Amino acid sequence: MDQSKSKPKSKFMENFISASNIMPMKKMSRDENVNTPYFDKVMAEIANATPARQMIFGISSGWVCGFFAMKVGRSSALALGGGIILLQIASDKGFININWDKVNRSIDNVSTTIEVASQKQASWISKLLKFAENNTTFTGGLIGGFLIGLASH
């Protein structure tokens, strides 16, 4: 057999071909496996992957997220818009009476709850941003795949 056919000619092709193989999982002890959040395990695997694997995983996961965001976004917009229209028609015809003071109090309670929850999520977001800064190959692929997923119907 000719050697040029059995060996990749460049480092890029070598990484690209190896990226098609299943990513090996790092063995963890039982305690380490139980105590480590799943998100951290996945991010560690991506960070330790070759650039080609990072790009392939980023593009594919970005495309899936973009595709479903477009589908869910359309359905959500239709449901929310239709609900608002039906509520307004029912209110104008006198079928329902909206207590706006109670609605405003509920909105204030929800905004307070969201503020408390957002403070708890700050560490998760900073961890995600740090990962994105350190793994630009994956991040670029994710963003590109997301935009392609949004464009595909």
| Radius of gyration for the alpha carbons in the chain, expressed in angstroms and rounded | 24
CA 22 from chain centre, in angstroms, equals 21
27-58 pLDDT per residue, tens: 555 555 556 677 778 878 888 888 888 888 88
pLDDT mean values, one per 10 residues, the chain (153 residues):
50 49 48 65 83 86 90 88 89 86 85 76 76 84 88 77
For tokens 């098609």, the residue is 20
| Of 140, 137, 128, the residue nearest 54 (C-alpha) | 137
pLDDT for residue 21: 45
The answer to whether the CB of 141 falls within 8 A of the CB of 57 is: yes
pLDDT value of residue 9? 52
Instruction: Give the model's pLDDT for residue 82.
Output: 92
